[in-house]
Amino acid sequence: MAEEHNIPKTYDPASVEKKWYQFWEKNKYFHAEPDPDRKPFTIVIPPPNITGQLHMGHALDNTLQDILIRWHRMMGDNTIWFPGYDHAGLATQIKVEEEIKKNEGLTRYDLGREEFVKRVWAWKEQYSNRIIDQLKCLGISCDWDRIRFTLDEGCSRAVREVFVSLYERGLIYRGTRITNWCVNCNTALSDIEVEHKDDAGHLWYIKYPIIGHEGEYLTIATTRPETIPGDTAVAVNPKDERYGKLVGEKILLPIMNRVIPIIADDYVDTEFGTGAVKITPAHDPNDYEMSLRQNLEAIVVIDKDGIMTKESGPYEGQERYECRKNIVKDLDELGLLVKIEDCPHSVGHCQRCGEPIEALISTQWFVKMEPLLKAATDCVKDGRTQFVPERFTKNYLGWMENMHDWCISRQIWWGHRIPVWYCDDCGAEIASRTDLDKCPKCGGHVHQDEDALDTWFSSALWPFSIMGWPEKTDILKQFYPTSVLVTGYDIIFFWVARMLIMGMEFMKDIPFDRVFIHGLVRDEQGRKMSKSLGNGIDPLQVIEQYGCDTLRFMLITGNTPGNDMRFYWSRLEATRNFANKIWNASRFALMNLEGYQADAKRAPYELADKWILSRMQDVAADVTALLDKFELGEAGRTVYDFIWGEICDWYIELIKPRLYGKAGEEARATAQQVLVTVLTGAMKLLHPYMPFITEEIYQALPHDTESIMISAWPKADPALQDKAAEKGMEAIMNAIRSIREMRSQVNVNPGKKVPAILLVSGELTEVFRENAAYIHLLANVDDMELLPLTAGKPENAMASVNAGVEVYLPLKALIDVEVETARLNKELAGLQKEMQRVSGKLQNQGFLAKAPKEVVEKEQVKAEEFAAKIKTIEERLAYLKTI
C-alpha cells in the first residue's frame, strides 16, 4: 500500500504537466454538449491574433478565465470555454508583407490581390496553431473541439448577415468625410485605433497680411505649418473684442498668395495662441466641422502617403515633415515668422505602427452608431450586464455617450471584404449575402468593393457567431448569453462595447452577464512591457524554469481586480517554494498512508482533528464566496494560508506521533483519514490555480474520480464546523508560538527541553489539560504547570500574554546567567567599538565636507542602529543582574 501511494522525491513540473494535459485532452474533460437539465457556465476566449505570441498579458488573462472555468466545472455546471483566434487584418497583412519583401523583394501590389491573399492563408496555416499550443502549455482547458477562426465559413456568414442587415436598414452607409489615416499602413482607422501621446511640439506664430490694410497683419499660431497651403479661412471667436472689426475682411495666405476670409466661429478658443486660428478643413476634424457650418472649401494638400500634393504649390512632392521645415524657413525669410514656442501637445498615432496620424478626407464605410447605442447602454445601467470592478461602468457609459459613427472600412486585402458590388452598367450599389457575378437589377457586369472590414467588426459578433448564428443552434440556445467576459481595461472600447452593441441588436439579449476587468502586467519598475524597452518576459521561458503552476499562482495572487500588477522574480521564487512545500508535505503524508483503509476502525477525533476539519469547512466557504465575487487573488491567498500555515505547519506536525503508531492503530487510522480528507480537499480548492501539481497529488491519494478536475468542489459541511474546537486549538497554538518566541529571544538550543507555567482561564483549562501533549511536542516543553489566571505571576520568568492564557518561562531554567552575561558583554564591546568608529567619522569636519551626501546619511543610519542595539543589550544585562 505504501508503494501505491508514493510520489517521487522531487517535483518535476515538465513531465507532470505534459502527462496530465494529454490525459485531460484524451478523456475529453474540456468538452461540453448542450444539456438543458444542467446550469450552463460559458466563457468565450478573447481571440488572440494569429500573428501573436504568448505574452504576460495573455498569461494573466487566460489564467483568470481558466480558474473560473475549472471552478465551475467542479461545481457541476455545464461548463464550456469557447476557444478561437482572430485574423487580425491589418497586423497580419503587415507581417506577411514584411516577410515577402524581405525574402522576395516584392510588394503585395506586385503579387496582386488573389495571390497575396493565398500567401496570407498559407502563412496562417503555418503559424495559427502556435499561440494555441502556447496556451496549452499554460494549462488552459478550452473545448478545443470547438475552436473557431474569425475568417472561417461560419463566422464569415455571420459577418455578411450583420453587414447586409444593417445596410438594408440604412445603418451602414458609404460617405466622404474626414477620417483618421495612417500614411504608413495606408488605411483609414477608427477613433479607438488612434493612440494619443504628448509630443514635444512647437507653436509657430505667423503673420497673415490683411487685404486693404497696408502694413497690417493678423498673427495666428499653429502647431502644423505644413498645412498652411490648405488654409481656406482664418477664424476668431465672435466674442473676442480684439478682432471684431476684422470679421468679414479678407486676408492673404502667405506663400500661396491666395485670398481667404476672416470668419467668426464659437469653436475658437480665445486663450490659444493669439486667439486667431488658421482653418484647414481637409486636414483637421474640427476645422472640417467648421467648414460645413461656414461653407468653406476643403483643399487636400497632403496625400495618403504623407506627400504634399500639387495643391501645395512649391512644396509638391515633399514629405510632410520636410515640407514643415521648408515652409518655416520660407516664412522666416519673408519676415512673416514672428516666433516659435515650445508647445507639448497631444498627437494621434497609429495604434498598430506608431506613425503620427493624418486627418484626411476620404470615402469610407460607416456604421451609424446613435440608433444602436441605447440598448447597449440600458443593459449596463439596469444591471443585466455588470462590470467587475464596478468603477469601470462609469468609464463604459461615458464613452458610449460620446461615440461617433464607426469607420469600418480598411484599405487592406486580408480580412472580410466589404460585401458590396457596383454595377459598371447601371451604377447600382448592391449589398449581398452571397457573391454576385452580375447585376441583379440590369444583368450587367459588377465588381466588388476593394476594401476590407475593420477586424473589430467581426470580433464584435464573436459571442454568437462562434455558436453558429444566424442558425438557431442548440449550442446557441444553451450557452448564449455567456456567463462572463474576462478582458483587460485597455480594450473596453475596442471590443466590449461593440459586443454589447451587436449582441443587443442581433440577439436581442446581452452577450455576457459580467465583464471581469483586469489590469496590465508591468515590470518591476512599473513600466509597461514592450519590445522597445526590452523588458518583456516570455511566459514560456518562465514555465520552462519554474513550471506552469508557479507562474499561474504568482500572477493571480499578485492581482486585484482591475488594477495593474508588477512582475517580481522574487515572488516567483516564493511561489515555487510554495509548490515545493505542497509536494514535500504530500509526499510525507503519502509515505504514512501504509495500511490506510477508508472504512477502518478509528479512534474518536482529537482536538487537532476537529480543528482542521472545521477550518476546512470555513476555508471552502470563504474561497467559494471570494470566487463568486471575482476576488480570485484573495481566494488564492486564502488557500495558500490554509495549506502552508495550517495543514503543513501545524496539523501534520501534531499528528506525527499518531502516524508513527505511537498511539495505537485506531488513533493512526483516524489521523490518516483526516489527513486524506483535508489534503484532498485542499488540492481541490487549489486545483483551479495550480492544476498540474494538484492532479499529480490527487492521483496518488485515495480518490473516487478519474481526475481532480471532474471531482466535486468542496462545500462546507455544517456537521464538521466546530467553533469550540477552533477556539481551543487557536489558544494552544498561540501558547506554543509564545514559547517558541521566548526561547528564540534568549537563544535557547532548539533541542533543549524547558519548563513552562501556564495561567489559563477557566473555560480553557480542560482544553489545555487534555491536549498538553501538543505543547510538549511542538514547544519542546518537559514540566508544564497549569494554573488559573488568578494565580500569582511567577518571578524571574519571561512572560507572554494572550487572550485567556498567560505563558511564563522561568529564566533560570532557560539560560546560564554567567554565560549569557559574558556573551552579551562581548557583543556589547564589539558594538561600542563600531559606534566609536562611526561617531569619529561623523565628528570629522573634513569627512562631512568632502563625502557625498548619501555616504554621510548611510553613516548616520549606522550610528542610529548601533545606538539602538547597545541600548537593548544594556537593558538585557541590567535585567540579568536581578535574577
How far is the C-alpha of 442 from the C-alpha of 427, rounded, in Å? Answer: 10
Residue 357 DSSP label: P
HSE-up (13 A, CA, CB side) for residue 578: 27
Distance of alpha carbon 395 from alpha carbon 119, whole angstroms: 41
How far apart, in Å, are the Cα atoms of 56 and each of 339, 561, 565, 693? 48, 16, 11, 21
Contact 551, 530 (CB under 8 A): no
The two beta strands, 512-518 and 386-388, are parallel
DSSP summary character for residue 604? P
Name the one residue in this structure whose C-alpha cell is 480598411.
Answer: 410
3-state secondary structure 139-186: CCCCCHHHCEECCCHHHHHHHHHHHHHHHHCCCEEEEEEEEEEECCCC
Q: Residue 203 and residue 310: Cα distance in Å, rounded?
A: 26
384: left (phi over 0), alpha (psi -120 to 50) or beta: alpha
Query: Which of 266, 204, 276 shows the shortest CA–CA distance to 235?
Result: 276
Strand order in the sheet with 337-342: 217-222, 202-209, 337-342
Q: Residue 786 in contact with residue 815, Cβ under 8 Å?
A: no
Return the H-helix or E-strand segment holding 338: strand 337-342
Q: How many CB atoms lie within 10 A of CB 792?
A: 7
Is 531 labelled as part of a ligand binding site? yes
Listing from the earlier edge strand, what are the strands of the sheet with 781-788?
A: 781-788, 754-760, 805-810, 797-802
Give a three-class secondary structure readout of 469-538: CCCCCHHHHHHCCEEEEEEEHHHHHHHHHHHHHHHHHHCCCCCEEEEEEECCEECCCCCECCCCCCCCCC
Identify the bridge partners of residue 277 per DSSP, sorted by sequence position.
235
- Using an 8 Å Cβ cutoff, are 649 and 641 in contact? no
Q: Rounded distance, CA 600 to CA 356, Å? A: 76
Check if the beta carbon of residue 253 is closer than 8 Å to that of residue 260: yes
Residue 331: closest CA among 202, 232, 214, 204: 204
Of 127, 340, 104, residue with least CA distance to 219: 340
Are residues 559 and 632 in contact, defined by beta-carbon separation less than 8 angstroms? yes
Q: Which helix (H) or strand (E) holds 756?
A: strand 754-760
Three-state secondary-structure class, residue 382: coil
DSSP 749: -
Helix (H) or strand (E) holding 105: none
Per DSSP, the three-state class of 633 is helix
Give dist(CA 450, CA 465) in Å, integer: 24
**Cβ neighbours of residue 442 closer than 8 Å, sequence gap 6 or more:** 423, 425, 426, 428
Cis bond upstream, residue 511 (ω within 30): no
First-residue to last-residue Cα distance in the chain: 56
714 upstream amide cis, omega within 30 of 0:
no
Q: How far is CA 697 from CA 349, 641, 718, 727, 881, in A?
A: 51, 19, 27, 31, 56
Which residues are documented as binding site? 531
Which residues are documented as binding site for ATP? 531
